[in-house]
Amino acid sequence: MVGQDVAPARPAVVENRHPQYAYPPAFLFISNGKRVDESYRSVIRWSEGPWSSTGSSDIAEMPILLKDNIETADMPTTAGSLALADNAPGRDAPLVARLRAAGAVIVGKTNLSEWANIRSSDSISGWSAVGGQTLNPYDPARTPCGSSSGSGAAVALGLTPAAIGTETDGSITCPASVNGVVGFKPTVGLVSRTHIVPISHSQDTAGPMAATVRDAARVLTVIAGSDPADAATVEADARKTDYAAALDAGSLRGARIGVMRFLKGYSPETQAVFEQNLQALRDAGAVLIDLPEGPDGRTLGEAEFKVLLYELKHDLNAYLASTDPTQVKTRTLAEVIAFNAAEPRETVLFGQDIFEQAQALGGLDDPDYVQARATSLRLAGEEGIDRLMRAHSLSALVAPTTSRAWTNDPKDDDDMQGAASRLAAVAGYPHLTVPMGFDRNMPIGLSFIGGKWDDARILSLGYAFEQATQARRPPPVSRP
């Protein structure tokens, strides 16, 4: 049976400290969420409480789900892998501590593409050995994308107003786009990565996924900030602001927006919706500048992948060494590879060729790595986003985030079409996706990309677009 939305976005409760942002008790969200999510498997684990809200921010009592590569003191953190099934070191990641201090209520962990999609070139988005296959709420036969699959699907289903995802390249923005929600990848260094299962210290970041830009901005305001254990965040306290207060529905007026025409491969249907939304930007007062040429995408992609391989081995080994050896027996990437090879539940659908490639490489002092990182950063940053924005005096770049969700069947010809994530991911710059319409009844998003520390501006431009278009439509949820 096809029903209406799962629940009102802001149901009223008695004596809430922030009546404009009133939420029912966490146990109601959880009981409702368990019922609705039974068919979609976006949540890998629900919190057993106790749930308390002692903060006084405007996200006090907001229920939030976390991707299951982010540590919490009260739940295991598995990254979807059976090798980490007992990984419960009893510590909150700094971003989680910030959420709790602000009064947010952590109600559970979301499923993800196992090891954040870095294990195999044949990996299936939204599948993990621990959580199974997360389904797209708009069409269960189509991908939820990844690797923050469960976070995107959960917000689309209305299980919580917001969730936290992580991104190395596209892992917040793609699942947000194909699940019809807002996703924001901040500037790398704005949000701490400590106690998050890593891939790449050059590109990894956590960020909010939400039903609205305002909710994403409110959550970002809380989780942003410096962390002595994460050297990349040294400037975060000085750079952060109240991102929700900075939102301006009129911010598109006079804004110069670069249209990344050099990005190819989108479906004709997505391209048509994109052109309609370019007109919506013009109608809101933006000045659009077509950009027919960008950096060398092939060279950039090759250099990026090499960097990810080297950093995966280094960073994952460091993370595993920080876990409790009585809980996590696999202490290195090499031991995880051996574990997977001996565990048929891990390799039932695909192998681990990327893990094996990473393991074969040397350390971060290898000249091959040093050159690859310099090349990727130069092409994405100095000769990519920075050059384009400086040459045309731009406020932001835009493109379709990707086309409609492809099928979950790896054997058919329906595959991903187009992607806007690489430049911002490699440069470490902010990238926001906002729902812009539908491609054959599947949601698609519009990407806003800016320069380093342009997070507030990008969120405000996306907010102005969201308010002008109101394109988001929740999925028709089949109630169990």
Please list the active-site residues: 67, 147, 171
Instruction: Provide the β-strand partners of residue 183.
Output: 209, 433
**What's the rounded Cα separation, in Å, for the pair 221 and 322?**
28
Q: For residues 386 and 428, is the Cβ–Cβ distance under 8 A? A: no
Count of C-beta atoms within a 10 Å radius of residue 51: 16
Mind spelling out the 3-state secondary structure of 360-402? CCCCCCCHHHHHHHHHHHHHHHHHHHHHHHHHCCCCEEEEECE
Q: Is 112 helix (H, G, I), strand (E, B) or coil?
A: coil
Q: For residues 353 and 120, is the Cβ–Cβ distance under 8 A? A: yes
**What's the rounded Cα separation, in Å, for the pair 408 and 135?**
9
Question: If residue 300 lies in a helix (H) or strand (E), which one and from where to where?
Answer: helix 297-322
Q: Is 55 helix (H, G, I), strand (E, B) or coil?
A: coil
Q: Is 242 helix (H, G, I), strand (E, B) or coil?
A: coil
**What's the rounded Cα separation, in Å, for the pair 88 and 75?**
6
**What's the rounded Cα separation, in Å, for the pair 452 and 467?**
25
